[in-house]
Structure 1
């Protein structure tokens, strides 16, 4: 081999990676996001198909169901009921006189849209619902990247999007659940908030309030935003037109947050129809109780640690206080502060909403998805080893979530 041959091969080894790096840099951001999303969905599909192949007969399917049938179990069946039959005009009442589980717990935007897709495409419920979820999941990933890019460098924004697309509960982007539709409108609303295009926020705020129940949380986040902008108005002008627009968004979010419970009450003639319906899902844990704001997490500490684990409830209280303290400290960490005050306001407001109304159990992991902007804090370290470890961890946790929460094993007490 001549010196010329050696030099040519060395040049080839150095030029080729450089050309690939250049081609990568020239690739449009949306192409990168689409590739990330499709690869993540491929990984999730492999996991779901593997679990479906060993799934036994269950309340929704026979043994070894196909992908689409398996993707529409659990709450997917409730959304199917809403799409096919709508909502009951009278609430189902048990022998003990309490409200039983029914369709009013599931908001209409997602199942009604899936019904429209069924009408146009002639597809049955399961593939139509999965198609809607998949499409909105892709849209959510694209908007999420743009949201992150307002606060973080491009490479960090893309890695945050990787975490968003491959996170522990990311299979929801291809299941018959409303989360992907909700996350699309939530990310769009947050993006518009950071751009201070308040009037444009009204449409996504209204739609997401009828997709998943969190309108009150968004109203609280807007309240934080308005107060903050007023306090810092001397160094960051807060003109009257923006004051009016932001307050209108806050009020619309608040009203839309209570609209569905009001509609349920008017249709059924039971003022607390929605709340009573939601509480029926936690009756298996703590019996039929009235909703007292911020009490569910105390009740959960009693149940999980006192009754389930047969230990002292005080361990539950200490665990709760520790988790809240760590979350509060994290909100002031440099990596989270780089995301800006508005994404922190949303994270805190949504956390307060969960604390006020939600009873923590296996669905908690799914309900944390609206706090996805915090992935931007996790994505900031540049180490390749760190990033590989995070991706592997996301996939492992995704498999664990599917195994524990999605797969059905007899009388399963761990719903997704």
Structure 2
């Protein structure tokens, strides 16, 4: 669905004399500074809450943030390379670390090679730096489309999501979101080589990185179809060709190590993850409502709530008519998150990179009274901080 020219700026940089890149970057950072400060304050508050609760319960904050669940797998890859397997609860099935994409553990290893720190510190360093760049990229996209105030509201909403604690863990979501946001911004400003290169890296960060490649490819097809002269622009072709190479390259490499081109998907099935068009999701919701699945965790209820909130948010986004590449990016992430089986408590985490879902709410908040904004964001902050420490320190399911 094309963007409304009256609502959104064109997908091209302004004409005329452009300031030097450093000046543009400094200006963008200066405009984003208030939003980034809000983001950092909220997420630091989350870390402080986790530290206080961990101290009073005799647990380790650093272990919860940097050495739990997926963080352990990433640290193992960073330290020993690929090849680790662990038995699952299903007899005869083992789980392979090949299910995890290589960019995040590669950066962990690079940090430990440059600085004498532990893998936990390295992982948190990569995640925290990525989270700030993700917030900056989200602001850049929001400002480009809707203006500075809406962009600030967008970043603030992103900071207070119930699962936002994941952005302070040694997980790959912060890295993926940062790469995706800046690739989308590059698309909006027609920087094709940047868009394709960042999409390539996003494809090495997470399986859902294919959504960024889909956005770049769709943008290139639109331009090539609409503008005959664009077909002679080598940058468009190069960006489009680069975009899927990270994802395709890793999946192909896993295939060479696991007995066939579809080896990666077999490994995902061994983890209990397969794409079934949402049938298992609907069945899980039914069992949760009817109590057929036994005593569920709070995280399961929050996982279902996250999906149920995401559905109307997606509808509102479609009605808002964003640029088509951003809509395709969001749709692919939504389908991948909701259409798969297993890991129901992690559904909101899988949707974290889908920040365009917050566009309609951010635009509404930009027009709301300051008191309304304060009450809403204050309530969401309390929920986010409380649920974040529960996920890290008390939940027995993966965030």
Please classify the TM superposition score into its range, dividing by the shorter chain length.
Answer: 0.7 to 0.9
Q: CA deviation at 1:45?
A: 1.2
1:198–1:99 CA distance, 2 compared to 1 (3 A): farther
Q: TM-score, normalised by structure 1?
A: 0.75
From 241, 246, 256, the counterpart of 2:246: 256
Q: CA deviation at 1:238?
A: 6.2
Q: CA deviation at 1:297?
A: 1.6
Greater relative contact order: 1 or 2 (C-alpha under 8 angstroms, separation 6 or more)? 2
In structure 2, the partner of 1:363 is 346
Q: Would you identify which runs of 4 or more consecutive aligned residues in structure 1 move more than 6 Å? A: 93-97, 319-325
In structure 2, the partner of 1:156 is 150
Q: Does 1:298 align with 2:279?
A: yes
Q: CA deviation at 1:263?
A: 1.2
Which protein shows a greater Rg?
Answer: 1
Q: CA deviation at 1:85?
A: 1.0
Count of paired positions:
356
1:260–1:358 CA distance, 2 compared to 1 (3 A): farther
In structure 1, the partner of 2:82 is 87
From 328, 344, 355, the counterpart of 1:345: 328
From 50, 53, 69, the counterpart of 2:52: 50
Q: CA deviation at 1:385?
A: 2.9
In structure 1, the partner of 2:165 is 171
Structure 1 unaligned spans of 5+? 1-26, 56-62, 284-290, 313-318
In structure 2, the partner of 1:394 is 380
Question: Which digits, 9 at most, give the CA deviation of each residue in 1:170-190, with x for residues without a partner?
Answer: 222321111111111111100
Moved more, 156-165 or 400-409: 400-409
From 219, 230, 240, the counterpart of 1:239: 230
Moved more, 116-125 or 263-272: 263-272
**Counterpart Cα distance in 2 of 1:340 and 1:77:** 38
Q: CA deviation at 1:199?
A: 1.7
Q: CA deviation at 1:81?
A: 0.7
Structure 2 unaligned spans of 5+? 1-28, 294-304
Question: Which digits, 9 at most, give the CA deviation of each residue in 1:211-245, with x for residues without a partner?
Answer: 111243233333433454456x2xx7762235x64
**Counterpart Cα distance in 2 of 1:237 and 1:385:** 51
From 18, 27, 30, the counterpart of 1:28: 30
Matches within 5 A, 1:217-232: 217-229=211-223
